[in-house]
Amino acid sequence: MSTFLACTAPAAGHAFPLVPGLLALQERGHSVHVRTAAALVPALRAAGLDAAPVDPAVEAIRVGDHEARGGIGRLRRGYADLVARARRDGPDLDAAIAETAPDAVLVDVLAYGAQIAAERDGRPWALTVPSLLPLPEPGIPPYGLGLAPRTDRLGRLRDRALWPLVERLYGSALLPGLNALRGEHGLAPLASPLDLFASPARVLALTGAPLEYPRRALPPHVRLVGAQPWDPPAAVPEWLDEPGDPWVLVTCSTEYQGDERLAAAAVEALRDAPVRLLVTLADAHATAALPRAANVRVERFVAHGPVLERAAAVICHGGMGIVQKTVAAGLPLVVVPFGRDQPEVARRVTECGAGVALPAKRLTPRRLRTAFDAATAGRDAARAAGVRLRAAGGPGAFADAAEELAGLGAARAAAAPTACPSSSPPPRG
């Protein structure tokens, strides 16, 4: 059996999707260690995993892209903060490797310093991607822009022209700082941000159909292991089962992004609808000033699982975690993307029929109500999308791919030359 070490970005949306697959590895007899945000450690330990917090210095560096103006400004600010964090998460992974002596390492896609540490360490490692796969391929639109796929001649020309532009845009925001850090550790610079997906022995993308577009030329080391929805076990609040109109979940990002105005618009949009709104504000609780309405309940956090079992629809910012959970539950979605990968996630939701997207810059209560009515009218399509997502991989597929990774280490050890016998006589005594 093998020992795995998983290092996540300090956010629930990057740690929780790993849990089903890591538990599957343990059930197969492997040892698993996890390093993640301190606040998430109790939940992972309660689930049965050996979890420990990352260095507090890692969490102390917050990603403040929501504070910047304009899409390019937010992109540059976000990557600058992640590279600053990388100077902490790399040494933190070094320490975790020394402590746990893993056979294979799983590193989060946003833990850039930990990726450098894993590359320098030399043992087999995989990149874990709890979102859509941002790799180019004919027929797949440029990542991040939220464009609809097109297979006609104009669509092919559009994609060929825009993919290099998108690559350069992301590269100009990320690579200067990241390559400087790589140089400090004796590693060659990256020519493109796509090179990040070429370095590891495996890439484990925790998604699949219907949110991931069909791929015909996937690199041989990349595995689409399917969505892995997971929430910490939690008691069902008594109020959730009180009789009344159906629940609609309105949720803000668990990592603050300035999206509290989505909650305010949802209250105004649905205050007179025959539904009950459950608004979860997460880190927006300190700044949100919501209008009052008789059919609204506001909480900071509520476990999504019990809510989705009782909900009729979901309104959200387009984080991959809540989107995959909602699609898996077969519920209609309204997605209002605020940044990061959310415009792309919103496009995938609309393309597979799971819901409706509304750009944040066009968000008003009236438009949100129109989007909600359209999404809930498409319940059958949302259910069909859920069937497809539940069939596309899962914990077993994740564990299979991780075992491939550990097998690479075993093969490397078996192929290593054995030491030559000594010509000296054995020591006496």
Amino acid (1-letter code) at residue 256? Y
- Residue 177: the pLDDT is 97
DSSP letters along 308-324, please? HHHEEEEEE---HHHHH
Of the ranges 20-29, 145-154, 280-289, the best mean pLDDT one: 20-29
Helices (H), 148-259: 153-184
SS (H, E, C) 230-286: CCCCCCCCHHHHCCCCCEEEEECCCCCCCCHHHHHHHHHHHCCCCCEEEEECHHHHH
Q: What pLDDT band is residue 121 in, cutting at 50, 70 and 90?
A: very high
Taking residues 175-187, report their average pLDDT: 97
Indicate the pTM of the whole model.
Answer: 0.89
Taking residues 396-424, report their average pLDDT: 70
- Residue 259: the pLDDT is 75
Q: What pLDDT band is residue 412 in, cutting at 50, 70 and 90?
A: low
As given in the structure block, the two tokens for residue 187 are 């590693």
Which of 170-174, 229-233, 235-239, 407-411 has the weakest average pLDDT? 407-411
- Residue 414: the pLDDT is 66
Which of 2-16, 64-78, 366-380 has the weakest average pLDDT? 64-78
Q: What pLDDT band is residue 282 in, cutting at 50, 70 and 90?
A: confident
CB 401 within 8 A of CB 202: yes
Which of 5-19, 148-162, 245-259, 389-403 has the weakest average pLDDT? 245-259
Taking residues 236-253, report their average pLDDT: 92
- Residue 337: the pLDDT is 93
CB 32 within 8 A of CB 6: yes
For 41-79, write each residue's pLDDT tens digit.
Answer: 999 999 999 999 999 999 999 988 778 888 889 899 999
Taking residues 366-384, report their average pLDDT: 97
Above pLDDT 70, what percent of the chain? Answer: 93
pLDDT at residue 236 is higher than 50: yes
- Residue 375: the pLDDT is 97
Q: Are strands 202-205 and 355-357 parallel, antiparallel or unpaired?
A: unpaired
Q: What pLDDT band is residue 420 in, cutting at 50, 70 and 90?
A: very low
Whole-angstrom Cα distance, residue 158 to residue 138?
11
Above pLDDT 90, what percent of the chain? Answer: 81
Whole-angstrom Cα distance, residue 5 to residue 118?
11
| Nearest in space to 215 (alpha carbons), one of 142, 143, 160, 133 | 133
- Residue 426: the pLDDT is 32
Taking residues 292-315, report their average pLDDT: 92
Whole-angstrom Cα distance, residue 253 to residue 308?
16
- Residue 422: the pLDDT is 36
- Residue 130: the pLDDT is 95
- Domain annotation for the chain: domains and CATH numbers: 3-227+392-408 (3.40.50.2000), 238-389 (3.40.50.2000)
Taking residues 77-94, report their average pLDDT: 96
Taking residues 274-302, report their average pLDDT: 81
Residues 6+ apart with CB under 8 A from 25: 4, 32, 398, 399, 402, 403
DSSP letters along 38-99, please? GGGHHHHHHHT-EEEEPPHHHHTS---GGGSSSHHHHHHHHHHHHHHHHHHHHHHHHHHHHH
As given in the structure block, the two tokens for residue 362 are 């066009």
pLDDT at residue 340 is higher than 90: no
Which of 112-121, 128-137, 337-346 has the weakest average pLDDT? 337-346
pLDDT at residue 291 is higher than 80: yes
Q: Distance between terminal CA atoms of the chain?
A: 36
